[in-house]
Amino acid sequence: MESKVSNLPSPSVRKISQNTSDAIVVGAGIIGLAAAYALLDAGNSVRIVEQFSPGAGQSTRTGGGIRVAHGSEVNAQLTQLSLPTWLNFEKQFDIDPHYQETGHLFLSSKNTKSLATQANLLNSLGAHCAVLSNEELCMRWPSLGSTDFEVGNYCKTGGYLNHHRVVAGFVQKVQAGGAHFEFNTRVEGILQDDGRVTGVRTSAGLFTGETVVNAAGPNAGVISLLAGLRIPFVSRRHELLILEQTAQVPESVPWLIDIDHQVHMRPDGSGRALVGGFLGQNDPTNPDRYDKSVSKNWSTAVRAQAAQSFHLTRPDSAVLRGWAGLYPGTVDYLPVLERSIPGLVTAAGFSGTGLMHAPAVGQIVADLVRDGNTSAVDISPLASTRFDGEQKPSDSTGF
């Protein structure tokens, strides 16, 4: 989906009063910024309330992945709708996002049925997925050596980009469009009148508006509770490493995902590699008290597993840098995207897919604010009412 916003009026055209705006977006991560961008394009005045600064949360603590290959129809569709924005980002936002198309290769010996299901889904959506045997894998990517995997799903569309540059591009555009930022401001309450959300109470005072958008990432559950809603948002801690150039990982290799051992690797340019994975540990964590540094035990384990899985690096490959972050999600790994109650739109819980889905989500949020629904994609599977019954993971292909 290519957003329509290209020549927003100057800030003087889109007036915003001292305390009132058409829409209040809570959170200036990539989802909140994309929502603000689309809302401005639809003619709304917008105020963004952010407890720190734009992109300071989880939007820039990932691997920058853009992935069409998912395990659920709605996730695949959201990336497909967003892809034109990423491909045309420099032209639209005046900033080169350094997009690199690697493609994605899901590998398995134990979960071949899951890969068959994924391939059928992707091909039915027009996202070509090649199912490759062990022999075909070794022939296509000789650098992988004699891989032990029985089958691989290869989707050539997708890759990674520089999320810091993406955040900067969105910030520049929404500021030019007249959005007002409230930095270093906490939301402490949700204002309601006769069952309708009418604004927010913050550490900087009261702000009112026709609609509040909950795009608060790991704090989305707190915002929901302030509005009287109980949505089972959870945050899962993840870690990533960049290996030194001595790893000599060729740039021709796709983003590799071993779903049996939950480890992944992609080239990072000039022989470097990004390595990550849950390694079977995927427990929820407290978003206010998680450790942002890489654990030594995990660093040792993930490098050993990556070496064993992909045959490209060594267990002792030198680490250039590393970091930990959160995947703010839900108990079934799918986001909540809905008009939750009158005056409140929720766009949160993306489980690591927020960056790749942001342009489409922003447009859907604008649709929900204007019409209460959207024709872009069927978002009924993302309604919070799905948690009223017993739930099973709907898309656990995240990494």
**Which of 330, 352, 372 is the last residue in one of the domains?**
330
The secondary structure of 109-155 as a DSSP string is: SS-HHHHHHHHHHHHHTT---EEEEHHHHHHH-GGG-S---SEEEEE
Same domain, 259 and 326: yes
Looking at 330, 350, 366, the residue that finishes a domain is 330
What is the radius of gyration, based on Cα positions, of the chain?
A: 21
pLDDT lower than 70: segments of the chain: 1-17, 390-394, 396, 398
Q: How many structural domains comprise the chain?
A: 2
Question: Do residues 44 and 95 both lie within one domain?
Answer: yes
Same domain, 193 and 341: yes
The CATH number of whichever domain residue 52 belongs to comes to 3.50.50.60
Residue 4, pLDDT score: 40
* Same domain for 120 and 38: no
Q: Do 4 and 146 belong together in one domain?
A: no
pLDDT number for residue 146:
74
Which of 233, 205, 306 lies closest to 58, judged by CA?
233
Question: Can you give the pLDDT at residue 386?
Answer: 96
Residues 294 and 346 in one domain: no
Range of the domain at 225: 1-102+157-232+331-399
Q: Which of 330, 359, 388 is the last residue of a domain?
A: 330
Task: Give the β-pairing of 344-348 and 205-214.
Answer: parallel
Q: Are 113 and 242 within one domain?
A: yes
Residues 40 and 14 reside in one and the same domain: yes
Q: What pLDDT sits at residue 192?
A: 98
Report how far residue 25's alpha carbon sits from residue 33's, in angstroms, rounded to the nearest whole number: 8
Which residue in 210, 180, 206, 216 sits closest to 196, CA to CA?
210
